Structure 1
Amino acid sequence: MNIFFYRSFSALTFMKVFFCGLGATLVMDFLNKVGALLGWVYRMDLNFLGCVFNGWINGVYEFKTPAELLASGGTKLQGMVGHYLIGVFFAILLFIVSRIFLLNKREVAAAALVLGLSAAVFSLIIIFPSTGLGIYGWKGGVGLFGTSLYNHLAYGFGLAIFFHFTHLVDVNKS
């Protein structure tokens, strides 16, 4: 591991990475609202996510049906906080990977899209089955699969844009 990684993680850099994670998640939410209005995807349900996070906090990691999950409690605020914190976590992950492997701008953009797809895979094989929707969310219809891919690619796109404009990529490399 190179010394550049350690020198580059200052408080200002952390704030930029934090901002990138929040911004990319906002891009994802905005494009989800647009896509839902156009009828392309399902609208994201932050109350549902709040119930997932509430269950996890209380040690319940699997529900037989979505109705059982919703009956367990949880709030939209919990869903929003958890959703945005996960967005920040993935931004930190991208920053660490970009510094360890000294990625250039194009490579960081590609890595951001791959990270977005990784987040989709996480929701498809971990979150959806734990909520009673089955693997890939098939019990909720094929639209959940497409919605997850759309949303998380939008996140990856937002992350690539925010990393570029906050100059978190090594400017000495092209």
Structure 2
Amino acid sequence: MQNIVFIVLIGIGATLVMDLWALLRQQLFSIAPTNWGMVGRWIGHMRKGRFSHTSIANADAVSGEKIIGWTAHYVIGIGYAVLLFLLFGETWLLQPTAGPALALGIATVVAPFFVLQPGMGAGIAASKTPNPNAVRLHSVLNHAVFGLGLYLSALVLRLVL
């Protein structure tokens, strides 16, 4: 039971680190953070059987789309923490190291490149955006920060609990 609590807290912590990074990027570089409401809109349309859009911004709004998007963001973060545990086990929880967390964080960029971005109308790996390479770079950086967040969250939990 303790492992489950640790895993959930690690996922929440890592996602929070990613969100704090987004706020810092916005302040330092004027880069807008992800609009989780649009992600919620995309997910909301799935209930109606629509999984792909030409432009999610032009799709009909979905009731509660911001809550849906933010909830999904944190649930996915927890899911990736579960995956980290499944891959590296209790040993990693007891003695967290940066390598596995960073590797998994960077690997998770596969999801936005091949599921989220195409589904929302941005194309595979943001190929339909005005500056695909910039979007790709930011996606990889964001997911690396998430990986760092997995590691830091596990370290903090080990120190505090």
What range describes the TM-score normalised by the shorter chain of this pair?
0.7 to 0.9
Q: Which residue of 1 aligns with 2:156?
A: 165
Matches within 5 A, 1:47-126: 47-69=37-59, 71-73=60-62, 75-99=65-89, 102=91, 105=95, 108-126=97-115
Distance 2:113 2:30 in 1: 18
Equivalent residues of 1:117, 1:149 under 8 A apart: yes
Q: Which has more radius of gyration?
A: 1
Shift of 1:126: 1.4
Q: Which residue of 2 aligns with 1:3?
A: none
Misfit runs of 4+, over 3 Å: 102-106
Instruction: Report the TM-score when normalising by structure 2.
Output: 0.85
Letter in 1 for 2:135: L
Farther-moved stretch of structure 1 (53-62 vs 127-136): 53-62
Aligned length: 155
Farther-moved stretch of structure 1 (31-40 vs 88-97): 31-40
Instruction: Report the TM-score when normalising by structure 1.
Output: 0.79
In structure 1, list runs of 5 or more residues that go unmatched. Answer: 1-10, 168-174
Letter in 1 for 2:36: L
Q: 1:38 is paired with a residue of what secondary structure?
A: helix
Q: CA RMSD in A?
A: 2.2
Shift of 1:40: 6.4
Equivalent residues of 1:29, 1:151 under 8 A apart: no
In structure 2, list runs of 5 or more residues that go unmatched. Answer: none
Equivalent residues of 1:55, 1:61 under 8 A apart: yes
Percent identity reads: 25
